Amino acid sequence: MHSTIRFRLTLWYVSILATILILFSLGIYSLLRNSLIQRMDGGLRSALQVASLSLNHEVEEHGGKVEGEKHLIAVVNTMHQTSFPRPGIAIWEGSRLIAEKPGIAGLSANEAGEFSSNMEDEIFVDVISADKVPYRVIASEVYIPEIQTRYHIVVNESMEAMEAELSTLREILMIAVPVFLILAAASGFFMARKSVEPMLAMAQTADEISSYNLDQRLQVANPNDELGVLADTFNRLFARLQKSFEQQRQFMTDASHELRTPLSVALTATQVNLATRPASQEEVTDVLEVIQSQLLRLRRVVEDMFILAQAENEAYPPKITSFYLDEILGETVRAARILSEAKEIQIHLNLRESDLAYTGDEGLLRQLFLILLDNAVKYSSAGKQITVSLTRNESTIVVAVQDEGSGIPESAQAYIFNRFYRVDRSRSRGAVGSGSGAGLGLAIAQWIAQAHRGKVFLSKSNSQGSLFVVELSYS
Amino acid sequence: MRILVIEDEPDAARFLAKGLREHSFAVDTAETGQSALEKAYVNSYDLIILDVMLPDMDGFTVCQQLRSADLSQPVLMLTARHAVPDRIEGLNSGADDYLSKPFDFQELLARIKALLRRNPRMESPVISVRDLVIDTHRQYVHRAGVQVSLTTREYALLEYLALSKGAVVGRADISEHVWDETYDPTSNLIEVYIQRLRQKIDHGHRFKLLHTRRGEGYQLIAEDSPRNA
């Protein structure tokens, strides 16, 4: 549960939202607090100013310290009665209290006086009174030159009302933020589950797909969103897997057929013959010949399959040596003539290059040429000619094998390089030793050419004959 | 009993036919689906052995075409492929049995006999006509407790007549089911074989079992009174 994406998504979402909300609350709170204090400070300052002006005015008008102070007391008393200005005011000379106006919520003169002695300029201080009420205090020194007296004016106001206002806001925020976060977490979890749901469905479908139902695909609700892209990616993966599985399955089916058929013929021949008692010498020879031809066919199939398996397994890289390509081709043609002469077919070799040094796998290239020559002989009738030529172009070496056979039907031309493909099944199983193949020869030839950064292709084929071309890269 | 072997491997077809003939079957062979269908439409086979991989069409198609032409003889499919879907497709296309290559020849014979036994005429492996006993399973023939030695063709003829359960069997039917396509209808081979068979099973017995019905054919039946055929 704690490891699921939707849980982690929700957790992230809630943490980020909580941080934002807390910062926002703190901001609002301190903004409000600052503006309240500023307002209070403005009131305090103007009260201080009123007191200071009154002090100056009374001393000036009544000329003299004693008279002035007497009138000041009267003014302060009037202020007290009209409650204007709001804060409490105390005027001192040293430790002697001249006049006092207790504020509506003011500190008593005695309490405020404790700060007057060490306050020279305008100073704001927060004080807690004896009965635990916070006060804002401003004090200032006033010097009147005419009477050469230094007074201290102390102004204060209770912060209780402001604190109450702030604490209401605090309480609202303390309740609102958690409630908001809980709602956000719930809806976040719901949304996360909503967005993960298609992924779970995809996982379930993917889970059900195995080698038997690789044709199944994931549902793509919206091909343009992220999940659609993911599903599409998976589907393309499945398509590739399906193709490769089908090729493998087809290979297994074909290979099974090619291996079982000769076994079956040999087994039937043997069992039928053994059941016939007594068998004549001719019958025994006949059976042995059949068994031999089937065994040779089996050997050929096994060898070809081994080469193809090797081609697919990169653990067996070609053995690279240097040699003369024209020499290899010449030797292969001589080997093929042994087969062709028995069928009265002539092979002409047309070498336009001599001492053509080449680097590659000699054994594989011999096999490539032999496969093409073997096919040419197999599909030619007596008296026909086969022409083999070797030419060098700028970057390629071209070996062409031209026969005068009956050609490959157009419908078959696209498939001749496929494994186990045979143009004509009955014709390809010719005499023993003439390479009665399993339809793997051209597939092997193609692999050999590709291993030499080249290719084999059917250049042209009609009723006059076929032209196979090998192109090998050369540098 | 006459069997059509459809198999494109010439050696396989040759030895299958040889083995089956040694067990008293008349055998024709075909290498392609087309020639097999032509033979099956013309001749009446008692069983068809069909290879799945043929050069011109696959065995499933051949089987379907046989069935759609109302030919209902048992079909035994042979295949070198060994996949369950193949087996299912084979049976779905109307084949009665399925054997994968390489197979044991004795198993093939056993399956052929099992398929032929589905025919109501051949439910019992032993046929008795009075004191003549024919064991179709082991191909033994006894008359009055004494074993009668027959060639495979003679046995095939006798078995075919016995399976008709006393009905008169025409010459055409005999040539269709006992001989293969090499039979020459203008020859008197059937008369020769009937003569030899009569010599072996009826000679020296009071009750004759093999009768000639002029203009109709032949009949293997136990009649109430002895008579000279």
* DSSP assignment string, A306-333: HHHHHHH-TTS----EEEEHHHHHHHHH
Average pLDDT over residues A103-115: 63
State chain A's mean pLDDT as an integer: 84
- Res A310 pLDDT > 80: no
Average pLDDT over residues A120-135: 71
pLDDT (0 to 100) of residue A183 = 94
| Residue A338: band (very low, low, confident or very high) from pLDDT cuts 50, 70, 90 | confident
Cβ neighbours, 10 Å, residue A173: 17
pLDDT (0 to 100) of residue A426 = 44
Q: What 3-state DSSP class applies to B158?
A: helix
Per-range mean pLDDT, top range of A18-22, A48-52, A408-412, B148-152: A18-22
As a whole number of angstroms, the longest Cα–Cα distance in chain A is 166
Average pLDDT over residues B174-197: 87
Going by C-beta distance under 8 Å and a sequence separation of 6 or more, which residues neighbour residue A164? none
Average pLDDT over residues B128-150: 87
Per-residue pLDDT tens over the stretch A411-438: 888 888 887 777 665 444 443 333 446 6
**pLDDT-above-90 percentage for chain A:** 24
Average pLDDT over residues A391-414: 87
pLDDT (0 to 100) of residue A428 = 42
Q: Which residues of A touch B18 (CB under 8 A)?
A: 272, 276
pLDDT (0 to 100) of residue A152 = 83
Partner residue facing B22 (CB), from A268, A276, A287: A276
pLDDT (0 to 100) of residue B87 = 74
Check CB contact under 8 Å for B103 and A264.
Answer: yes
Average pLDDT over residues A451-462: 90
State chain B's mean pLDDT as an integer: 86
The distance of B103 to chain A (nearest Cα, Å) reads 7
In angstroms, the CA A240 to CA A300 distance is 31
pLDDT (0 to 100) of residue A26 = 94
pLDDT (0 to 100) of residue A458 = 92
Q: Which residues of A touch B51 (CB under 8 A)?
A: none
pLDDT (0 to 100) of residue B75 = 93
Range name among A134-138, A431-435, B109-113, B171-175 with the lowest pLDDT average: A431-435
Which long-range CB contacts under 8 A does B201-209 form with residues at least 24 apart? B201/B132, B201/B141, B201/B143, B201/B148, B201/B158, B202/B229, B205/B131, B205/B143, B205/B144, B207/B130, B207/B131, B209/B129, B209/B130, B209/B132
CA A63, A66, A67, A73 dihedral sign is positive
Partner residue facing A265 (CB), from B11, B82, B106: B11
CA angle A414, A419, A420 (to 5 degrees): 105
Beta strands B140-143; A357-360: pairing state: unpaired
- Res B160 pLDDT > 70: yes
Per-residue pLDDT tens over the stretch A43-61: 888 988 888 898 888 888 8
| Residue A314: band (very low, low, confident or very high) from pLDDT cuts 50, 70, 90 | low
pLDDT (0 to 100) of residue A125 = 72
Q: Residues of chain B whose C-beta is under 8 A from some C-beta in A?
A: 8-9, 11-12, 15-16, 18-19, 22, 31, 53, 55, 78, 80-83, 100-106
Per-residue pLDDT tens over the stretch B32-89: 999 999 999 988 899 999 998 888 888 889 999 998 888 888 999 998 876 667 777 7
- Res A111 pLDDT > 70: no
The distance of B68 to chain A (nearest Cα, Å) reads 27
| Residue B215, phi-psi category: left (phi > 0), alpha (psi -120 to 50), beta (remainder) | left
- Res A276 pLDDT > 70: yes
pLDDT (0 to 100) of residue A267 = 93
Check CB contact under 8 Å for A260 and B100.
Answer: yes
pLDDT (0 to 100) of residue B34 = 93
